[in-house]
């Protein structure tokens, strides 16, 4: 918006300057001679001054628009108060919400992956079972690997947040557990 207006002002000022510089300031006397007219020269000066002023205003507005645009880049929405915060902020400046924690949280079916394997590497088998069942739900016909692959975006986030070692361990545990659950199911059916 500001950018568009500033470009408009710059365009008008350039047109005014071109017009004033090409302005004919001569008049013909009764004798047919052309002479410079002081009034027209003064008018041309006003045009040039106004044109230059508009050009400066336009350029400054354009620079300001770029700066404002940049300050809005890298902005995120705080999940707690829905206010704008910097993408790199650790704590929300509006409500004090810990953004670092929520950013580093990876949820699958609403389950924080740290509820499956904690930071110490300890596995909570109960939670592992619960999540495996949620992942298996509606996908019982698929292989454990295919089920896992369908969670590709979440697995990529686990890799980026918790590291490749953690991600590999998580995938291994989930795949093995889904295979075990599937095995148990088909075993019951026979």
Of 94 and 180, which CB lies nearer to Zn ion in the complex structure?
A: 94
Contact 174, 146 (CB under 8 A): no
Q: How far is the CB of 99 from Zn ion (least distance, A)?
A: 8
99 binds Zn ion (CB under 5 A): no
- Nearer to Zn ion by Cβ, of 30 and 72: the residue is 72
**Does 64 help bind Zn ion (rule: CB under 5 A)?**
no
Q: C-beta of 112: minimal distance to Zn ion in Å?
A: 20
Angle at 93 between CA 90 and CA 96, to 5 degrees: 75
Beta bridge partners of 91: 98
* 97 in contact with Zn ion (CB under 5 A): yes
CB of 107 to Zn ion, least distance (A): 19
| Residue of 80, 123, 139, 179 interacting with Zn ion (CB under 5 A) | 80
List Cα–Cα distances, 65 to 9, 51, 53, 157, in angstroms.
13, 21, 18, 35
Between 97 and 182, CB nearer to Zn ion: 97
Q: Residue 80 or 179: which CB sits closer to Zn ion?
A: 80
Among 9, 54, 78, 136, binds Zn ion (CB under 5 A): 78
Q: What is the 3-state secondary structure (H, E, C) of 150-168?
A: CCHHHHHHHHHHHCHHHHH
Per-residue H/E/C for 65-118: HHHHHHHHCCEEECCCCCCEEECCCCECCCCCCEHHHHHCCCEECCEEHHHCEC
Q: How far is the CB of 96 from Zn ion (least distance, A)?
A: 7
90 or 146: CB nearest Zn ion: 90
Q: Which chain residues interact with Zn ion by CB under 5 A?
A: 78, 80-81, 92, 94-95, 97
């Amino acid at each position: 918006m500001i950018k568009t207006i500033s470009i408009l002002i710059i365009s008008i000022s350039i047109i005014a300057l071109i017009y004033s510089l090409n302005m004919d300031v001569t008049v013909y006397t009764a004798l047919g001679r052309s002479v410079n007219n002081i009034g027209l020269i003064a008018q041309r000066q006003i045009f040039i001054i106004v044109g230059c002023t508009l050009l400066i205003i336009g350029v400054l507005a354009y620079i300001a628009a770029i700066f404002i645009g940049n300050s809005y880049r890298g902005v995120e929405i705080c999940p707690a108060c829905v206010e704008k915060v910097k993408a790199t902020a650790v704590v929300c400046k509006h409500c004090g919400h810990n953004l670092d924690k929520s950013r580093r949280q990876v949820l699958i079916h609403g389950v924080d992956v740290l509820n499956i394997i904690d930071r110490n590497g300890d596995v909570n088998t109960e939670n592992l079972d619960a999540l495996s069942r949620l992942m298996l739900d509606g996908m019982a016909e698929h292989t454990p690997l295919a089920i896992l692959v369908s969670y590709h975006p979440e697995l990529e986030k686990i890799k980026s947040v918790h590291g490749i070692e953690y991600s590999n361990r998580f995938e291994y545990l989930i795949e093995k557990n889904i295979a075990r659950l599937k095995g148990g199911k088909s075993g019951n059916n026979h």
